[in-house]
């Protein structure tokens, strides 16, 4: 087996770096001691106070503020963390502070040197904004952002950081997947402040065009990498929401940015940090309302399934089938199929991190494991990871290297949960011998009915394996106190493989030629991403009144992706599951191969200015180039401007409204872009075809028409907001209103059949989105001396969108969707609107549906020309309500999620109450099909004649307004007293218990998780440090 060259080079470089750093540890430590001694020697003259300020990693803090509290004089530390300050007395009080650190007040004596260590302050994370390029003070930042520490993420749950972020911030929306529920191998769909793009403009390798950009330790990352990231490795997660905070990322930031910072090693003696948790997940079937065996047979009889007008022989056959099933029911057969593929999932997570080092060399070594058992049998996700963090500092130069290896193994059930839900309850699972029968029934009228349990017992498999290797190298140099030069280089390599084998004994092949039974599919994806960046950052405070910072930088990146695969058919029975046993490729099939390369280059500038910490301004500008767009439109400029006003620093607020602790008004405007699209979207492409092979050889067929003038999609993003804290920091309020215009949109317009293609990518129309988000938190009790806190918290999100300038360009798409969905694209309409014909209900006289035309008249005849907007799937308001209580190490908290005013097209009603033809009677159905349908004249019913098996068109009768309330998170925990923990030989220990998604109340009855059910979970977590 050949070793991957990239992996070999990366491993060699890492080893040499580690060896070099290890050899330098002792020398660096000696130099550090020498520097302190030299400083002490020089401190014997005059009323001068000298000292060195370090962080807990043992690294000097450059630019820490040192203030004499007696005469208000001050200074900042230099590149070595050293400061000198004139003292008026022999003994003075100093206040030493630094962004992200706990301020420390100490007493110092003139003529003597002091050493100060500032500890990390998790609460101080709220005081800074980590953009991934520069770190800014929250007080002087004009953008809309939210930062959450790793501890805050774990206060909600330990399953994954995405789920925690959804609970903590209203702008971060994880869309429910009603099809795949809690499937552990499905990545979530995420939006920040709604959609900015139309779906469908992507290939199998590109991201969702509405997905935010993820930044991990300063480098672009993927949703999968963040989703799989061990939550114990996370130091903080920051959501950048508006143009002032995201435009620095230029063409990739229109959907918002999520910045993730991982834990860094700390200086000192060797420490061992362990965190472990165990989850118990159990399926949630509360949304299902299926018939039992007696109800189903009675429903089939009322639908006329067991009657025939063809012949007496057929009538007798039907009657025999009915009598056999009736006898089985009377003998007690009532199979509950839903429970058969399910289990209680036992999941466990372990994280171990060892760190330590000196001022000059820090190291951290970590391993982690996350084993997830889905609530369906044969559903599994195992994530194993390891990371090495190294920091080496010599003089003013610092190197940081982060290496991560992560392997993910997945197993998926072959039989969908929907097949169990469709199985009729009057069938027996086992035959007379107690074995799983292959067929539930087989008669000449209905044919063969397969047993999903039999299919599940075969040696079929659906499995995958991913391996991700990443190495981030960062070099920083500070030639002077106020200037930092930084170079970064990142390399990420991902390899994914998938295998899907269906046994030839599967019942789906019951009527298939024996030489074509069974199938095997193999897919493989390899992706390599390079990213390099150089940045110069300058920050200065002049006369304690003018605070400004500026960063100049350039970035290059390249991503190469390759997918290939093949499928084969025709396998013998038994353990012959490999492709070499197949009879050949699937009919008409051949191996697939797809390669794409995406490159981008950019240069940027970002700066901020603060006058007296009252009047604030942020600006950014970026020039972007990318290969995704047309050759005539390769480059674009993105920009942003933000203004802010710290009213709490105004004298009229300080003197007259002393109950206000913090009050900032801010606004921003900018035009970030979006390039989550197919890398070949603007290119004319051909595919080779053997079907058109001729005398001249292999032919090529046009598969995509290019567009050299395809423009970038940018969004004009406007935001206004306020941050308010009052009553001794007991009331905290954050409000934001945004207005986003994406112009132009990238869409695929339909082409006539004579063109030989179905669509053409172009720029057309615009989408306008606006909304409001709010967060309010109030501390009922807040006594730090007694270690007592009790707070309540609420969030809210309101949003709406509309399209404009599209005209009839998407008419073909709208026509195609008329009988398939309720989504349409028209000017002035919201993309989330529900389009269908209005219904007046079921006529009590005859059981037929009565429709309402646009002019208000009634008719029995359905016409798509009468479609109107009958609702919107987006809720009028959505958010969370929660409370947290803490007392002397004991904590308890709960968070509820509410959704109000959303309309939904109830597919369970549409397909399992009506639209049940004779073929549909072979499947189990919703109870409402039996009890709520019209049966005789005069019945007031919601659903049509029970004997009517004709298809029912989509109408407003199936649209229902939904309000929901769910318990998203409940947590109870205890942090052991340090003295008690010390007796156990550990420096800190905490235990937590969680419950997530325990219940959900809804005003409608709709099936959720049709292919994979939703789950509820209970977790127990333990963490300690040695």
CA distance linking residue 492 with residue 488, whole number of Å: 13
pLDDT for position 640: 95
**CB contact burial 836-864 (16+ within 10 A = b; e otherwise):** bbbbebbbeeebebebbeeeeeeeeeeee
Helices then strands, each counted (H, E), the chain: 14, 53
Banded pLDDT at 17 (limits 50, 70, 90): very low
Of the pLDDT bands very low, low, confident and very high (cuts 50, 70, 90), residue 35 is very low
| CA pair distance 295, 709, nearest whole angstrom | 62
Report how far residue 128's alpha carbon sits from residue 143's, in angstroms, rounded to the nearest whole number.
12
Q: How far is CA 50 from CA 41, 53, 67, 96, 919, in A?
A: 11, 10, 12, 13, 88
Range with the largest mean pLDDT of 51-60, 645-654, 691-700: 645-654
For 151-164, the pLDDT digits (tens) are 899 988 888 899 99
Beta carbons within 10 angstroms of residue 533's beta carbon:
20
Taking the C-alpha atoms of residue 980 and residue 978, their distance in angstroms, rounded to an integer, is 5
Asked if 529 and 679 count as a contact pair (C-beta separation under 8 A), the reply is no
Give per-residue pLDDT as tens, 731-754. Answer: 999 999 999 999 888 777 666 655
* pLDDT number for residue 10: 43
Q: Helix, strand or coil for residue 165?
A: helix
The mean pLDDT value for 226-239 works out to 92
Phi-psi region of 210 (alpha: psi -120 to 50; beta: other; left: phi over 0): alpha
Q: Is 60 exceeded by the pLDDT of residue 23? A: no
Residue count of the chain, please give it: 1026
pLDDT digits (tens, 9 = 90+) for 480-498: 888 999 999 999 999 999 9
- Given a cut of 90, whether residue 123 has pLDDT beyond it is no
Share of the chain above pLDDT 90, in %: 59
Q: Which two tokens stand for residue 388?
A: 């090495």
Which range among 52-56, 562-566, 574-578 shows the weakest confidence by mean pLDDT? 52-56
Q: How far apart are CA 58 and CA 115, in angstroms?
A: 11
**For the chain, percent of residues with pLDDT exceeding 70:** 90
Are residues 236 and 152 in contact, defined by beta-carbon separation less than 8 angstroms? no
- Residue 205 reports pLDDT greater than 70: no
User: Are 263 and 150 spatial neighbours (Cβ–Cβ below 8 Å)?
Assistant: yes
930-945: b (≥16 Cβ within 10 Å) or e: beebbeeeeeebebbb
pLDDT higher than 60, residue 624: yes
The pLDDT score that the predictor gives to residue 199 is: 56
Average pLDDT of span 947-966: 94
Q: How confident is residue 389, by pLDDT bands cut at 50, 70 and 90? A: very high
What is the arithmetic mean of pLDDT over 501-529? 94
Q: Which residues of 869-893 are buried (b: 16+ CB within 10 A; e: fewer)?
A: bbbbbbbebbbbebbbbbeeeebbb
Pairing of strands 48-55, 113-118: parallel
Is residue 28 predicted with pLDDT exceeding 80?
A: no
Top-confidence residue, 724 or 29:
724
pLDDT at 618 over 70: yes
The predicted structure's pLDDT at residue 120: 67
Pairing of strands 257-262, 213-216: parallel
Query: What pLDDT score was predicted for residue 752?
Result: 62
- Phi, psi values for residue 36, rounded to 5°: -65, -40
Q: Average pLDDT of 901-909?
A: 94
Structure token pair of residue 61: 């803090």
State the chain's mean pLDDT as an integer.
Answer: 87
Residue 31 has pLDDT above 50, yes or no: no
Give the pLDDT band (50/70/90) at residue 49.
Answer: confident
Q: pLDDT band at residue 979, thresholds of 50, 70 and 90? A: confident
* Mean pLDDT of the 979-992 span: 79
pLDDT at position 25 is: 37
- CA dist list (Å): 184 to 122, 175, 440, 496, 732: 31, 15, 30, 17, 36
Of the segments 123-137, 251-265, 758-772, 892-906, which one has the largest average pLDDT value?
892-906
Count CA atoms within 13 Å of residue 615 on its CB side: 3
**pLDDT at position 973, please?**
93
* Per-residue pLDDT, 431: 87
Range with lowest mean pLDDT among 505-509, 596-600, 673-677, 715-719: 673-677
Residue 1's Cβ-count burial label (10 Å; 0-12, 13-18, 19+) is: exposed
Q: Which residues of 798-829 are buried (b: 16+ CB within 10 A; e: fewer)?
A: bbebbbbebeebbeebbeeeeeeebbbbbeeb
Confidence class for position 843, pLDDT limits 50, 70, 90:
very high
Residue 122 has pLDDT above 70, yes or no: no
CA dihedral 101, 102, 107, 110 (to 10 degrees): 10
Quote the tokens at residue 311: 């012949």
Whole-model pTM? Answer: 0.85
Whether residue 465 is predicted with pLDDT greater than 50 in this model: the reply is yes
| Average pLDDT estimate for 304-315 | 84
Residue 515: which residues within 8 A CB-CB, separation 6 or more?
Answer: 570, 583
Q: Closest Cα partner for 902 from 799, 1010, 783, 1025?
A: 799
d(CA 59, CA 23) in angstroms, rounded, equals 18
Beta strands in 40-144 (DSSP E): 48-55, 65-68, 74-76, 82-86, 91-97, 104-109, 113-118, 128-130, 135-137
Is 70 exceeded by the pLDDT of residue 125?
no
Q: Residue 784 pLDDT more than 90?
A: no
pLDDT of residue 46: 52
Tell me how far CA of residue 703 lies from CA of 5, 684, 759, 760, in angstroms: 35, 8, 10, 10
At 171, the pLDDT band (50, 70, 90 cuts) reads very high
pLDDT number for residue 201: 45
Residue 539, CB half-sphere, CA atoms under 13 Å: how many? 16
Separation CA 878–CA 882 (nearest Å): 14
Q: Kind of pairing, strands 483-502 and 519-542?
A: antiparallel
pLDDT of residue 248: 86
pLDDT at 26: 37
Going by C-alpha positions, the residue among 211, 192, 54, 51 that lies closest to residue 119 is 54
- pLDDT-based confidence at residue 540 (cuts at 50, 70, 90): confident
Residue 775 has pLDDT above 50, yes or no: yes
Set out the domains of the chain in order of their start, with CATH numbers.
42-119 (2.60.40.1120), 123-265 (2.170.130.10)
| 862-884 mean pLDDT | 95
pLDDT of residue 677: 64
Rounded-to-integer distance, Cα 761 and Cα 200, Å: 11
Q: Read off the pLDDT of residues 324-382 as tens digits, 9 standing for 90 and up.
A: 999 999 999 999 999 999 999 999 999 999 999 887 899 999 999 999 999 999 999 99
- Do residues 702 and 712 make contact, with C-beta atoms less than 8 angstroms apart? no
């Amino acid at each position: 087996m050949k070793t991957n060259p990239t992996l070999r080079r990366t491993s060699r470089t890492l080893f040499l770096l580690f060896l070099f750093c290890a050899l330098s540890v002792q020398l660096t430590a000696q130099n550090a001691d020498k520097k302190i001694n030299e400083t002490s020697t020089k401190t014997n003259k005059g009323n001068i106070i000298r000292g060195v300020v370090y962080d807990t990693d043992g690294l000097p803090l450059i630019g820490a503020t040192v203030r004499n509290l007696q005469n208000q004089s001050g200074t900042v530390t230099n590149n070595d963390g050293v400061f000198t300050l004139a003292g008026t007395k022999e003994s003075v009080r100093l206040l030493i502070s630094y962004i992200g650190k706990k301020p420390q007040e100490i007493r110092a004596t003139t003529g003597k040197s002091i050493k100060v260590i500032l500890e990390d302050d998790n609460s101080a994370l709220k005081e800074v904004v980590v953009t991934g390029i520069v770190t800014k003070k929250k007080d002087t930042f004009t953008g809309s952002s939210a930062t959450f520490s790793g501890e805050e993420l774990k206060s909600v749950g330990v399953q994954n950081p995405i789920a925690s972020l959804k609970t903590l911030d209203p702008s971060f929306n994880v869309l429910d997947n009603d099809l795949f529920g809690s499937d552990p191998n499905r990545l979530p769909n995420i939006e920040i402040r709604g959609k900015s793009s139309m779906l469908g403009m992507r290939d199998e390798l590109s991201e969702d065009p509405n997905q935010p950009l993820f930044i991990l330790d300063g480098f672009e990352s993927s949703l999968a990498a963040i989703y799989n990231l061990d939550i114990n490795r996370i130091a903080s997660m920051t959501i950048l929401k508006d143009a002032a905070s995201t435009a620095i990322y230029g063409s990739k930031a229109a959907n918002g940015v999520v910045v993730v910072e991982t834990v860094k090693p700390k200086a000192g003696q060797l420490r061992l940090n362990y965190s472990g948790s165990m989850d118990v997940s159990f399926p949630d079937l509360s949304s299902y309302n299926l018939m039992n065996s007696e109800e189903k047979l009675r429903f089939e009889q009322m639908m006329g399934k067991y009657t025939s007008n063809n012949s007496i022989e057929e009538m007798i056959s039907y009657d025999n089938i009915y009598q056999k099933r009736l006898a089985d029911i009377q003998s007690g057969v009532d199979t509950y199929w839903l429970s058969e593929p399910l289990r209680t999932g036992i999941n466990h997570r372990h994280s171990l991190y060892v760190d330590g080092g000196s001022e000059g060399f820090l190291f951290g070594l970590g391993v982690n494991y996350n084993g997830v058992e889905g609530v369906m049998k044969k559903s599994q996700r195992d994530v194993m990871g390891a990371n090495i963090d190294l920091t080496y500092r010599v003089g003013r130069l610092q190197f940081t290297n982060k290496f991560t290896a992560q392997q993910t193994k997945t197993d998926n059930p072959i039989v969908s949960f929907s097949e169990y839900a469709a199985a009729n309850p009057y069938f027996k699972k086992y035959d007379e011998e107690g074995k799983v029968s292959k067929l539930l029934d087989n008669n000449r009228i209905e044919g063969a009915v397969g047993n999903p349990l039999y299919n599940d017992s075969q040696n079929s498999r659906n499995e995958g394996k991913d391996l991700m290797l990443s190495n981030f190298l960062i070099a920083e140099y500070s030639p002077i106190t106020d200037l930092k030069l930084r170079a970064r280089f990142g390399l990420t390599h991902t390899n994914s493989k998938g295998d899907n084998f269906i046994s030839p004994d599967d019942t789906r092949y019951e009527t298939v030629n024996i030489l074509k039974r069974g199938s095997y599919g193999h897919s493989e994806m390899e992706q390599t991403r390079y990213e390099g960046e150089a940045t110069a950052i300058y920050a200065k405070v002049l006369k304690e009144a003018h605070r400004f910072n500026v960063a100049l930088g350039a970035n290059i990146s390249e991503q190469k992706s390759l997918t290939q695969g093949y499928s084969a058919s025709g396998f013998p029975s038994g353990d012959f599951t490999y492709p070499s046993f197949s009879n050949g490729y699937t009919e008409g099939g051949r191996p697939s191969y797809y390669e794409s390369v995406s490159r981008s280059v950019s240069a940027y500038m970002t700066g901020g200015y603060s006058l007296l910490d009252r009047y604030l301004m942020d600006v950014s500008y970026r020039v972007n180039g990318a290969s995704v767009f047309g050759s005539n439109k390769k480059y674009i400029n993105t920009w942003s401007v933000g203004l802010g006003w710290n009213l709490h620093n105004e004298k009229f607020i300080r003197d007259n409204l002393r109950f206000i602790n913090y009050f900032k008004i801010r606004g921003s405007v900018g035009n970030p872009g979006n390039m989550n699209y197919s890398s070949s979207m603007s290119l004319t492409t051909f595919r080779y075809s053997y079907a058109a092979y001729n005398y001249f050889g292999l032919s090529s067929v046009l598969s995509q028409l290019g567009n050299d003038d395809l423009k970038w999609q940018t969004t004009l993003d406007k935001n206004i907001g306020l941050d308010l804290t009052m009553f001794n920091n007991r009331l905290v309020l954050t409000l934001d209103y945004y207005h986003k215009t994406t112009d132009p949109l990238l869409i695929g317009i339909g082409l006539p059949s004579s063109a030989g293609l179905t669509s053409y990518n172009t720029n057309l129309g615009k989408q306008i989105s606006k909304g409001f988000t709010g967060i309010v938190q109030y501390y009922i009790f807040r006594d730090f001396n007694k270690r007592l806190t009790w707070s309540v918290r609420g969030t809210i999100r309101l949003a709406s969108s509309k399209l404009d300038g599209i005209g009839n360009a998407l008419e073909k798409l709208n026509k195609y969707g008329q009988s398939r969905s309720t989504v349409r694209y028209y000017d002035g309409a919201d993309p989330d609107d529900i389009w269908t014909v209005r219904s007046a209900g079921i006529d009590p006289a005859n059981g037929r549906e009565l429709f309402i035309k646009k002019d208000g008249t009634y008719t029995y005849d359905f016409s798509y020309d009468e479609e109107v907007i009958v609702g919107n799937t987006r809720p009028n308001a959505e958010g969370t309500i929660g409370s947290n209580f803490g007392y002397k190490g004991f904590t308890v908290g709960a968070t509820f999620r509410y959704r109000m005013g959303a309309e939904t097209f109830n597919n369970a009603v549409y397909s399992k109450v009506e639209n049940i033809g004779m073929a549909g009677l072979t499947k189990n159905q919703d109870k409402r099909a039996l009890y709520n349908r019209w049966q005789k004249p005069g019945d007031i019913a919601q659903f049509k004649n029970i004997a009517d098996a004709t298809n029912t068109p989509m109408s407003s009768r199936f649209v229902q307004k939904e309000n929901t309330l769910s318990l998203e998170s409940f947590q109870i925990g205890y942090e052991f007293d340090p003295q008690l923990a010390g007796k156990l030989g550990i420096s800190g220990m905490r235990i937590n218990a969680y419950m997530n998604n325990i219940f959900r109340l809804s005003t409608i009855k709709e099936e959720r998780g049709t292919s994979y059910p939703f789950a509820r979970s209970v977790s127990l977590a333990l963490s300690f440090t040695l």
